[in-house]
Structure 1
Amino acid sequence: MMKRLGITLSVTLLLAAVQTVYADESQDIDRARDALTKQDSDADTEKALEQVFEAAEKNYSLLEKGGMSLNYNFDYTYYGDQRIDLEIVPSGTSSVIRNADVSPVASHSFTNSFAFDYGLANNITLGFRLPLVAKFETQDELSGYGIGDISSTVRFQPSEYIPGKASRTYFGSLRMPTGVSPYEINENESLPTGGGTFGLSGGISTSKVLDPVVLFGSLSGSYSLPATGLKQARGDQELQEVNNGAGVSFSMGFAYSLSYDISLSASFQGSYSHESEFVLYRPSTGQETRQKTSSQMSGIMNFALGVRVSPKTIANVNVGFGMTELSPDIILGLSLPIDIEGAKPSEGS
């Protein structure tokens, strides 16, 4: 009798642990994806590659007053993982694990985005980004597609660019929850295209031209506003509130000009996310519980190739990989400027 009780207790604890791991892992992966999602304000390799080609002989590295630019970006990320499927059958008053199967899980994300910048002044640039997102998961055959979270950005360069000196740019960004929220969908039927909350971020980026090399980096902080008034079903409970908290991200790297037409770069991007809190309500008992996910660190390594396809057009292709468990396994990207007919040509990155 004691042996049977021990088996029953072990199975119960195992099931509870597996369910908790799945829930926490899913939430942690979503937070890691959001933290490593490319933002307009990041000190990315595209701007550094353009500086390699076009640096010098200009007062500011932002757009001139009245200048406009439109860029198209394509980003693909792949997440691979393993999932444990347990076959549990009743045996008298207890349950027995008959089979444990480990199967691969793949998640694909495609993002087509358009970024528009406008030079409000020679040292102030306003930006707007519209992403179109498509996601697929092979194991459960889930998908989600639509508009992602729209964001707006302001960049400010306090002083003119001086050859040989490091240039600094301050930025602030607002993310709006225009995409499909992960807290309002049926998790067993579809995937989200957005983060579900408003987000604020700000920081500083810097770069220095050491011909033929450009060194660049950035440091920023972010905060996601709480999501309240939710009624998402999660098992026999109802998700009512989410507090994602704050995060810190940084990036650093260099770009090197091989010739007038070709440039290479390497960069590292890391992020730290503070713990999140989820408020759950169980209607059957009227009990409210609060669950917290642990804080985490994520990082990716990126390599990019810049090719001048015309005197005023530079195409950028990048390949990256994750360096932590919750980071993407594969990252592919393409960036192309779009010529705006009648618009004043940009003089910055």
Structure 2
Amino acid sequence: MKSLPYRRIGAIGYAALLLFNADAHAQSLETQAAQADQASINALRDELNQRIKELDAIKRKLADEEANFARLSRALEPGKLGTQRGTGGEDANGLPVGATAPNQGTATTGAQPAAAPAGNAQNAGSTAQQPAAAAPNQPVGEAPVADSRPPAVAPIFDQPGVLTPRGTLVVEPYFQFAYSSENQLSLVGYTIIPALLIGLINVSEVKTTTLTGGLAFRYGITNRLEFEVRVPYVYQTNDTVARQIFTGAAANSVISSSGNGIGDVEMTMRYQLNQGGPDKFYYVGWLRFKTATGKSPFDVVTDCVTTCVANTTGTGLPLRQPTGSGFLAVQPGLTWLFPTDPVVFFGNFSYLHSFGKGESLTLINGVQESLGHVQPGDIWGFNVGMGLALNEKASVSIGYDQSIVQPTSQNGQTVTGSVRTILGTLLIGYSYRISPKTTLNFSIGAGLTRDTPDLTLTLRVPMSF
């Protein structure tokens, strides 16, 4: 009977042991679960840190892309893009395409513009992917120097609108052909301007051909100031169909003469007055000085024996054609340009004043016949035109040029038969960029008034150095 308590005690101990083991096992399971949760948390934390690092890298790359995009947007600024139409464009460093940048070993080949056209997004994207390694001294996102020069257009007038960059020399060979045929009611004697002679009244038909070739040199003193020297060489022929005066001739006769030599050298200073921009006016003021280096109408021998003013012998016409006007002249003017995509409007206002002086005619026998003080009429001029870029290399322009020539005076009195003369010309010009430094310009002029040359052809080939 005593063993029963011991059995009860053993059962109780065994039960306690089972409870202890169960509790230990539960604690072990809890520990393992906690360890598993901690490992999972650590894994998630590691993965989160990795994602944060990747996000930071993406943010840095995005910042670089935004800087490249900003630089590309500035390169595509409408005003700067307008200056590159028909010129071949510039690269991201502001250099002509094809030129070698400082500290850069390989030059870009081909005349590709700095930015792709608006329709070529793929090329623009590839340009944006290029890092700033092409300009190692230029921090990412730094704005390049803005080009404040007016946009380039096909030149059709004598005064260009785009100035030469600082330190750049432009050598421009040029050639001009002009032909005119007109009936003249004139005074037989010496020529001041076409259709004006001093002497006896005569009706004649005059056909004049003028070939002018020469060189123009332009140098950029600053980006807004340039100096130009123009040296022409002139060859001119003149055929006059008229009746012999005081002879009672029943048929016309032809009197031909020609002359060649250096013309009047010109010097011009131009200055850009304002900054300008897209849909804003550019203004360029200029001052031209014309010398009298050419042979004047008073230096050539005239077909008169004893006198030309009251001529009874000879024709009164020059035996050789002059190559210059014989008078010094100064001409201030203002050129304006207004770029509005896709065209550029432009024009000039000018005033030419010639300095009168005492003149005399040279007769066949060498006698000098004094004419007194001769003052050529002043000339008011204006023109207007429009330029359109066809692509990155070619452009076309059309315009109208008009000059109002005032009467000529002799000894303070208006010369008999001298009246106000209107010269009007319609011009069409083409421009093609052969290389980043060479451009071919060609223009055609048609005379719209009787006193204007019937046809004018001009070829220019400016080359930059």
What is the TM-score with the length of structure 1 in the denominator?
A: 0.70
Q: CA deviation at 1:311?
A: 3.4
In 2, Cα distance between the equivalents of 1:274 and 1:205?
22
Residues 20-62 of structure 1 deviation map (CA, whole Å, 9 limit, x = unaligned): xxxxxxxxxxxxxxxxxxxxxxxxxxxxx98742489512342
1:164 paired residue among 257, 270, 279: 279
Q: CA deviation at 1:228?
A: 1.4
In 2, Cα distance between the equivalents of 1:115 and 1:246?
25
**2:299 matches 1:184:** yes
Residues 127-182 of structure 1 deviation map (CA, whole Å, 9 limit, x = unaligned): 11100110012342200101000010111112224233110000001100000001
1:75 paired residue among 173, 176, 180: 176
Letter in 1 for 2:330: L
Where 1:250 maps in the other structure, the secondary structure is strand
Asked whether the 8 Å contact 1:201–1:221 carries over to 2, the reply is: yes
Show the 5 A alignment for 1:1-349.
52-54=85-87, 58-61=147-150, 62-82=163-183, 105-139=206-240, 140-187=255-302, 188-233=318-363, 238-279=370-411, 291-292=415-416, 293-339=418-464, 343=465
Q: More helix per residue: 1 or 2?
A: 2
Asked whether the 8 Å contact 1:218–1:250 carries over to 2, the reply is: yes
**% identity of equivalent residues:** 26
Asked whether the 8 Å contact 1:232–1:239 carries over to 2, the reply is: no
Letter in 2 for 1:106: K
Aligned residues: 267
Asked whether the 8 Å contact 1:117–1:128 carries over to 2, the reply is: yes
Alignment correspondent of 1:12: none
Residues 81-133 of structure 1 deviation map (CA, whole Å, 9 limit, x = unaligned): 2479xxxxxxxxxxxxxxxxx98542100011211111122211111110011
Distance 1:81 1:247, change over 3 A: closer
In 2, Cα distance between the equivalents of 1:158 and 1:255?
21
Letter in 2 for 1:157: Q
With 302-311 and 58-67 compared, the bigger mean Cα shift is at 58-67
With 63-72 and 265-274 compared, the bigger mean Cα shift is at 63-72
Distance 1:116 1:236, change over 3 A: closer
Distance 1:290 1:301, change over 3 A: closer
Distance 1:302 1:50, change over 3 A: farther
In 1, Cα distance between the equivalents of 2:217 and 2:327?
23
Asked whether the 8 Å contact 1:82–1:105 carries over to 2, the reply is: yes
Asked whether the 8 Å contact 1:124–1:155 carries over to 2, the reply is: yes
Q: CA deviation at 1:279?
A: 4.5
Q: More strand per residue: 1 or 2?
A: 1
Q: CA deviation at 1:236?
A: 11
Distance 1:191 1:118, change over 3 A: same
Unaligned runs of 5+ in 1: 1-48, 85-101, 281-288, 344-349
Asked whether the 8 Å contact 2:446–2:454 carries over to 1, the reply is: yes
Distance 1:51 1:279, change over 3 A: farther
Where 1:249 maps in the other structure, the secondary structure is strand
Where 1:245 maps in the other structure, the secondary structure is coil
Larger relative contact order (Cα-Cα within 8 Å, sequence gap ≥ 6): 1
Q: CA deviation at 1:203?
A: 1.4
Asked whether the 8 Å contact 1:216–1:254 carries over to 2, the reply is: yes
Distance 1:108 1:50, change over 3 A: farther
Unaligned runs of 5+ in 2: 1-81, 91-145, 151-162, 186-202, 241-254, 303-317
Residues 251-295 of structure 1 deviation map (CA, whole Å, 9 limit, x = unaligned): 101011122232111110001111101349xxxxxxxx8724111
What is the TM-score with the length of structure 2 in the denominator?
A: 0.53
